[in-house]
Each structure stands twice: as C-alpha cells, then as structure tokens.
Structure 1
Amino acid sequence: MIIFYYVASLITLVLIIYAGYLLLKLRKQKAQQKIAHAALAKKRQDQMISVVESIVDISKAMQQEQCPTIEGCVRLKVLIDQLRLSEEERKPFEVYYTVYDKTAHIPTHQAWTDLEKRQQMKFTRDMMLIEQEYQAEIKAVVDNTVEHFKAKSELLKSQ
C-alpha cells in the first residue's frame, strides 16, 4: 500500500510540475501577444497619422490651387475612405464623394494616355463642367477639411 502512495505522490508531483510549466508557457504567450497587439496598434496609428497628414497636404494644395480640383477631390475621397468614418462623420465631405461618382467613368493613368485626343478633350470638358458646378461647395469644404484634419492630426500625434 505504501508503494501505491509513493507512486501516486510521484504522479501528482509530475502533474504539478507539468501544470507549472504550462502556466509559465501561457504567461509567456500572453506577454508576446500583448507586445504584438501594441505593435499592431502603433502601426495602425502611424498609418492613420500618415493618411490624415496626406489629407491636410492635398487640401492645402487645393486651397493654393497647386492641385487640380477634380484630382484633389478624388484623392481626398479615397483617403477619407481609408479612415473608415461613420456616415455622420463623412457627411461634411460629401462633395468629394459626389465629384468622385461623377468622374468615375473617366479613364486614368495609362488608359488616359491611350485615349484619342478627341476623347481626352471630351472628358476634360466634362471635368471642367463638374468643377464649375461644384466649385463654391468644394472651396468651402476644402477649408473645412484642412481645419478638421489638422486638429485630428494633432490629436493622433498626442496619443
């Protein structure tokens, strides 16, 4: 009977040691996971800061007329989408979405250069009409965009 107690004690001791080993391994995994989550959060924040700064830069370029209006609206719409704003937060920038939708059919990059001059002229005229139609609204929204995202950039950097 004593042998049974010795064997049971030995098995219990082995199980306690194994449980301790698993507990240490679990703590190590949780610490690594916490570090990985922190690194991912930092990377996401850096990306958000970069996107917000790009929005500010493009908006300022549009204010100073260094960036074509249509191109600026398209770029701003794409960048604002990357922020994954709610419908309510996106509402003040709706003109960018409108201009984007109205110019979505116009070829870009290599497709633009592949067009005949006559087609390019037609699309250029379409862009000018869209720009004229929304010029006042775009100007007001661009000013708002600079202020809004400048503040957001400062907030993100302070976190």
Structure 2
Amino acid sequence: MPRGLQLAFIAIGLVIIGALLFYIWRQSKLLNQQRLAQKKTEEFQAQRRDKMVESIRIIALAVEEKQVEYSEACLRLKGLLDYVDPSLLNKAPFEVFQTVHDKIQHMPTHEARKNTDSRTIRKLDKERLAVEQTHATEIREAASALKHHRFDD
C-alpha cells in the first residue's frame, strides 16, 4: 500500500476519532446538565412538599385552637393532602376532609361569593355551618391526628 494512502487512512481515522470524542464529550455534558436539572427539580419538589406538610400541621393546630372555620380548614387540608398523600383522604379519621369538601365544594368562594346575592349567601352559610356542626367532632379528631401523622416520602 502506498505511503500516501496509509497517511490518508490515518488522517481519516484521526478525524473520525476526533469527531467521536467531540460527540461523546457533548453527550456527557448534556447528560450532566440533565442530571443537575433533575436534582434541582427533586430538591424543589422536596422543599415544596415540606412546606405543604408544615401548612397541614399549622392548619391542624388552627382547627384545634378554633382559629379557623372548619369548612375552610377542610377545603385547605383536602387540597394539601391531594398533593402530599391522597390515600389519607380514604382512611379514618382523615376521610372527613373529603366528606366535608364534597358537601360544600359547590359553594362560591372569593370573588364569586362577592358577586352572589346576599340572600343566597345566607342560605349557603346556613348549609355550610350545618355541615360543620355535623362533622365538628370528626374534624377536630382528624386535625389532631394530622398534627402527629408522619408524612414519609
């Protein structure tokens, strides 16, 4: 084989090796970026979950101290538990949050409440207070249990 052809094959081989090394380096860099992004996402989710668990405990304490209406606490706790541990909403004593939520979710809140006539609001408030009274003991017991519940990952 002529020497020029050998040098050409060597040069082509070196170019291919260089291109493969560049490709490997680029893929490695992308993989590291993906791992870093995944780690940041997991850390953010863990912090978010921890804050939600803290909110659950604060609301549960507020229920025990009678600093919040039971209906509002149930709505908030149901929403937080949907994210943190939805299976709790089907277990005693926590299912009361789902029960109360289902009974009052049709009621307007925030801006919708402001835009509803006062007679309807009084009727809905009466209905809401009746639901609260019916489930008051269960709500307090569930809130107390939530304060001490271990939310494991």
Aligned-pair CA distance for 1:120? 1.4
Which deviates further from its counterpart, 138-147 or 29-38?
Answer: 29-38
Does the 8 Å CA contact 2:57/2:146 hold for their aligned counterparts?
A: yes
Taking the aligned partners of 2:46 and 2:32, their CA distance within structure 1 comes to 21
Residue ranges of structure 1 left out of the alignment (5+ in a row): none
Q: Which amino acid aligns with 1:138?
A: I
Q: Does 1:91 align with 2:83?
A: no
Residue aligning to 2:140: 139
State the Cα distance separating 1:7 from its structure 2 match.
0.9
Aligned-pair CA distance for 1:116: 2.2
Distance in 2 (CA, whole Å) between partners of 1:60 and 1:86 is 20
Q: Deviations over 1:94-144 (max 9, x none)?
A: 111110110011111122122222211111110111111111111111100
Q: Which residue of 2 aligns with 1:43?
A: 44
Q: What TM-score do the two structures reach when normalised by structure 1?
A: 0.87
Partner of 1:120: 121
Name the aligned partner's letter for residue 8 of structure 2.
V
More helix by share: 1
Q: Look up the match of 1:111.
A: 112
Higher relative contact order structure (alpha carbons within 8 Å, sequence separation ≥ 6): 1
**Amino acid aligned to 2:6:** Y
Contact kept, 8 Å, 2:89 with 2:97, in 1: the verdict is no
User: Hey, what's the Cα distance between the residues in 2 that align with 1:65 and 1:5?
Assistant: 89
Specify the code of the residue in structure 2 equivalent to 1:63.
E
Q: 1:75 deviation in Å?
A: 0.7
Gaps of 5+ in 2: none
Partner amino acid, structure 1, of 2:89: R
CA shift for structure 1 position 29:
1.6
| Identity level (%) | 27
Structure 2 length as normaliser, TM-score? 0.90
Give the drift of 1:25. 1.5
How many corresponding residue pairs?
Answer: 150
Counterparts of 1:1-159 in structure 2 under 5 Å? 1-83=2-84, 85-87=85-87, 89-92=88-91, 93-148=94-149, 151-152=150-151
Tell me by how many angstroms 1:91 deviates: 2.4
Does the CA contact (< 8 Å) of 2:63 and 2:73 recur in 1?
A: yes
Amino acid in structure 2 at the alignment position of 1:130:
V
Query: What do residues 5-34 of structure 1 show as CA deviations (whole Å, max 9, x unaligned)?
Result: 111111001111111111112222222111
The alignment partner of 1:80 has SS state of: helix
